[in-house]
Chain A
Amino acid sequence: MPEPRPATREEIAVMARLAGLDLSPEHFEELVGAYANLEPMLWRLRRGRDRADEPAHVFDPRKFMPVDPGTGR
């Protein structure tokens, strides 16, 4: 796999636009600064895993049944 390279400002602008963000120049600078810290974490996450490796979020439908606040049931 090729060595990842940091996203350019133009690429970050495209990603922000795709996310629906319309940022002022000041807030765009904040995003560029923050993403520079986040991006290396994302690179390290993107690696091969066994197909059977489950994510840590487990869905239990019983947890989302309506509850009466008065009785707790």
Chain B
Amino acid sequence: MAGPLHELTVAQAGRLFRSRALSPVELTAAYLARIAALDPALNAFIAVTQERALAEARQAEEELGRGHDRGPMHGIPYGLKDIFETADLRTTAQSRLLAAHVPRRDCTVQARLRAGGGVLLGKQSTWEFALGGPSFDLPWPPARNPWDLSRSPLGSSSGAAAAIAAGLCPAATGSDTGGSIRMPAAACGIAGLKPTYGLVSRRGVLPNAYSYDHCGPMAWSAEDCALMLGVMAGYDPEDPGSLDAPPADYAAALARPVRGLRVGVVRHWYEEEVRAEPGVVAGLDAALAVLRDLGCRVADVRLPGLREFGDAKTPITLSELYALHEGDLKRRPDAFGRSLRYRVLAGALVRAEDYVQAQRWRAELTAAVGAVLEEVDLLVTAGSFTAAPSLDPDEPPTFLGAAVPSITGPFNTTGMPALSVCCGYDGAGLPVGMQIAGRPLDEGRVLALGHAFERATAAGRRRPAEAGMQGAPAPADTG
């Protein structure tokens, strides 16, 4: 082994398991020790399942030892965002409303990961119901960014991204309604994939907004996301939005050649409509040069404006959110964190006809992006406009997408797969991300380009300094 255990990728650990150079128990114990040492400052976990993890690791070791191989997640430790329901294990959505919620069944994703031999390390922090945050008025403090504890890992899959970047787990599940996998991935310098809408089951995942919710993998690399997606994806008759699509081999797709791919750069989103920070633009420019060196045909394209996507998304998601939370908002509004309540309340005032018009607009926008994807194979744009922002307990809640439109939300509106990979570091050494998006169910090509990019560049290989993770951030008010 070339480096420390916590820097192994899923793919590397799997190879070492199968050559008997490493045992799942050894790897799990290493992660548990790091969680105990570093998570008090990071707040990436809401609950750590130590005994269960060691038991699952022992089972994996025994099974692999006798040749019973359950696949690429067998023996691999992972975390679950705390909106993924787990049988007999509290699932809180980081909310006072569900502080005592113990589901009877595993969600489909957890059932698949468990059947695949994965080792559950624990439940990871999120924004309240995957929307309200970062919040200091919830029962659990918000996660902090391991690259700089005074900064946010963004959200809402905050704990997952922070934990992977800090080496507390090699992989985790995330959910993405407007960017909640890709934004934290970009802010923490890791990879995260929002698959095609319906490719990964939402059954048993506490909803944010039904028609925009996606579940997906988060890990250090596109390769690991491919391995994890292969376990997570598949038709689920218990999810009405589930796609009955033929199974795909995402790991095999990584080997597909990228030379000659037509890559459309959506530059006007991050250079005209919103001026991204210089470090982000520099990272993108360097990444596009790498793609050209790989033989891709790179050219700018134009898509509808970011605000147009926001106009379609916000009335739909707000209406669905309000419908979900109406009863609690009327009965016990003070049980909500301020950020979630602020973001949900206005859903009460969206008229039914506005909801339908937004759905018609969503259809038009999806067709418009689809037309551009007839001309190019993949789209590339920034993963965010800035590096990780500061985590300020006194900052008032914001209305998402109002002051600055979302650069991740368009691919939730279209339901198309979008991957965030680290494409560089700004002047302060903070990671910045690049999104790669493709046609519906073209995850293989999206991941192949991400994988080729990661192999061709040093971006994404840095890890945050451990000394920085042991600092003492300002104590959070846990309300």
Contacts and interface: CB of A to CB of B under 8 A. Distances in A.
Contacts of B346: 31, 34-35, 37-38
A1 interface: no
A37 B402 contact: yes
A23 B334 CA distance: 11
A72 B318 CA distance: 32
Interface in A22-73: 22-24, 27, 30-31, 33-35, 37-38, 41-42, 44-46, 49, 53-57, 60, 63-64, 67, 69, 72-73
Contact of A21 (B312, B330, B350, B354): B330
Most buried by A among B356, B357, B358: B357
Given A49-B360, A57-B359, A37 B399 contact: yes
Contacts of B326: 20
Interface stretch (B89-97, B188-196, B361-369): B361-369
Nearest to B366: A56
Contacts of B312: 45
Most buried by A among B105, B310, B346: B346
Given A15-B349, A33-B342, A55-B359, A20 B330 contact: yes
Interface residues of B, number: 43
Nearest to A30: B342
B366 A30 contact: no
Given A45-B358, A53-B364, A16 B330 contact: no
Contact of A69 (B105, B308, B357): B105
B278 interface: no
Nearest to A73: B237
Interface of A: 12, 15-16, 19-24, 27, 30-31, 33-35, 37-38, 41-42, 44-46, 49, 53-57, 60, 63-64, 67, 69, 72-73
B330 A22 contact: yes
Contacts of B342: 30, 33-34
Contact of A64 (B240, B318, B356, B399): B240
A38 B314 contact: yes
Interface string B446-473: 0000000000000000000000000000
Nearest to A45: B357
Nearest to B210: A57
